[in-house]
Amino acid sequence: MKIIISESQSDSILHNMLDEIFDGHIMKFEKDYRNFYVGDKLLMILSPTTATLDKTILKKLTENLFFESMKDLRDGIRDWVNDNFGVRKTAEKFMGVNFSNLIGAEEPPKERKNPVREKLPPKEKKSKEQIERERQGYLDFLKHRRDFEKNN
């Protein structure tokens, strides 16, 4: 049996799931940020222009709900944050939603797109004899050139 959910219904289901996840949250202020804890787990950091949620929330939402794109999911979360926690009027439209590991699990290191070039070995310094030989060769060249120009 298939259940077809319209876009307007999916937003309300998303909001209900987020309400369940954040049920009994505690808000702590740190600088310009509001940190939201449920139990002893940090689940969201709310700054004036962005909301950063833990990746476990993203995992729960994507396992249970289907959204055509991440933009639709982020828009639903942004609306929920605006409705429940309030943001500045200037930031309502531009509020960004990010996901990262807030609980403390370390993220695997990201691979660099452009590998680091290996450093070139230092140039060898020339000895005095080599420098004199090069200078003498250049002086000989100039002498032969002047002689050639005089003859032609």
Residue 56: exposed, middle, or buried by beta-carbon count in 10 A (0-12, 13-18, 19+)? Answer: middle
pLDDT over 70 for what percent of the chain? Answer: 81
Radius of gyration of the CA atoms of the chain, in A: 33
Give the C-alpha separation, 47 to 29, whole Å.
10
Element at 99 (helix H, strand E): strand 96-100
Confidence of residue 101 (pLDDT cuts 50, 70, 90): confident
Confidence of residue 1 (pLDDT cuts 50, 70, 90): very low
SS3 3: coil
**pLDDT over 90 at 129, yes or no:** yes
50, 34 Cβ separation under 8 angstroms: no
- DSSP letter, residue 23: T
Residue 87, C-beta contacts closer than 8 angstroms, at least 6 positions apart: 46, 48, 81, 95
**pLDDT over 60 at 12, yes or no:** yes
Quick one: pLDDT at residue 132? Answer: 92
**Residue owning tokens 């740190």:** 30
Give the C-alpha separation, 67 to 144, whole Å.
81
- Crossing angle of the two packed helices 7-21 and 70-85, in degrees rounded to 10: 60
